[in-house]
Amino acid sequence: MAGRLTSLLGFGRDEPIGPLDYGRRWWMRLIVGLTFVFLYAPIVVLIAYSFNDSRRNIVWVRFTTDWYVKAIHDQSLLVAFGNSLTIAIINTLLSTVLGTLTALLLWRFRFPLRPVYEGAIALPIVIPEICMGVAMMAFFAWIGWPNDLPWPISLSNIVIAHVAFSFPFVAVIIRARLAGFNRELEDAAKDLGATEWRTLLDIIVPYLKPALVAGALISFTLSLDDFVITFFTAGPDTITLPVKIFSMVRFSVTPEVNAASTVLVVITVVTTVLALRLQNAGQKAGSSG
């Protein structure tokens, strides 16, 4: 045990540590180890406590799934979760299409003010979220957005805001994939008489498929995870899960919050890991083909 520990810390290896073997210096490992503890311990504790049979959640009592059962029976939590999913799905469809069009536009065409356009498209990614949040809030108030629309329609202002910040991210992902596209394929298709539309559907879209799926999954998690912008655009009847969690955290911290948070974390992490894998697989196939 002690031997394993010292070798883990970089002491007990036979071969000497090379001058650039920073990964094997004990102080380096200490910093990295402590950083990962700092990054992960709170999340592990949060998830563990969603299974803890104690209301105050200070010491571990025993394993239970009661908090999940409670969360499932909490009507407002379920409504918020339903809203979040609905918004995320519609957002995914719209921002994947818009992001792909943006990427194709910037990949294919030279046009006046192109650098300005590129800068403007990147703006939603770089500005502080709160600025965008208040801008959307002010905008919908200014055009007199009605507050009493029937259910799925009532979410559309949140969807509009989400699409505005997520389609530039999709564009980044699609552009990365397009950079490796062999344009001769497109030329060949057109030489052989394919229309623009046919070329797009039969040549470009199949090539883009991994990036399209990755972009769709990323825009899904961006929307599902967003708190700040939704916080400013949501009305009392259009609460999403992160907004609901925020109000729960502010007013009463119970393990139910941990359970709801765990569900959200699991969904977004799984979706993202899938997206990353697809994107990597796509890049590998792209570079070899």
Q: Which is nearer to other proteins, 43 or 285 (CB)?
A: 43
Distances in whole angstroms, Cα of residue 49 to Cα of each of 38, 41, 127, 288: 17, 12, 35, 46
Which among 13-21, 67-75, 85-93, 145-153 is the span making contact with other proteins, rule CB under 8 A?
Answer: 13-21
Give residues 41-80 in contact with other proteins (rule: CB under 8 A).
Answer: 41-43, 45-46, 49, 57-58
Tokens of 215: 């972009």
Q: Which amino acid is at 93?
A: L
78, 104, 194, 213: which one contacts other proteins (CB under 8 A)?
A: 104
In angstroms, the CA 66 to CA 74 distance is 12
Give residues 233-252 in contact with other proteins (rule: CB under 8 A).
Answer: 242, 245-246, 249-250
Angle of helix 114-126 relative to helix 75-108, nearest 10 degrees, comes to 160
Tokens of 113: 């003010």
Q: What is the dihedral of CA 11, 12, 17, 23, to 10 degrees?
A: -60
In angstroms, the CA 90 to CA 111 distance is 31
Give residues 142-181 in contact with other proteins (rule: CB under 8 A).
Answer: 142, 160-161, 163-164, 167-168, 171-172, 175
Q: Which amino acid is at 241?
A: L
28 is an interface residue for other proteins by CB under 8 A: yes
Residues in contact with other proteins, total (CB under 8 A)? 87
61, 130, 185, 201: which one contacts other proteins (CB under 8 A)?
A: 130
Q: Which is nearer to other proteins, 46 or 89 (CB)?
A: 46
Which among 2-10, 19-27, 74-82, 144-152 is the span making contact with other proteins, rule CB under 8 A?
Answer: 19-27
Give residues 79-98 in contact with other proteins (rule: CB under 8 A).
Answer: 97-98
In angstroms, the CA 254 to CA 246 distance is 12
Q: What is the dihedral of CA 183, 189, 193, 197, to 10 degrees?
A: -80
Q: Which is nearer to other proteins, 154 or 166 (CB)?
A: 166
**Residue 78 Cβ, how far from other proteins at the closest point, in Å?**
18
In angstroms, the CA 39 to CA 32 distance is 10
Q: Which is nearer to other proteins, 154 or 224 (CB)?
A: 224
4, 62, 73, 110: which one contacts other proteins (CB under 8 A)?
A: 110
**Residue 194 Cβ, how far from other proteins at the closest point, in Å?**
13
Give residues 197-216 in contact with other proteins (rule: CB under 8 A).
Answer: none
120 is an interface residue for other proteins by CB under 8 A: yes
Which among 6-14, 17-25, 62-70, 148-156 is the span making contact with other proteins, rule CB under 8 A?
Answer: 17-25
The DSSP secondary structure of 119-158, one letter per residue, reads HHHHHHHHS-HHHHHHHHHHHHHHTT--S---HHHHTHHH
Strand partners, 63: 52
256 is an interface residue for other proteins by CB under 8 A: no
Q: Which is nearer to other proteins, 70 or 190 (CB)?
A: 190
Which among 71-79, 85-93, 228-236, 281-289 is the span making contact with other proteins, rule CB under 8 A?
Answer: 228-236
Contacts of 77 (CB under 8 A, 6+ apart): 71, 241, 244, 256, 260
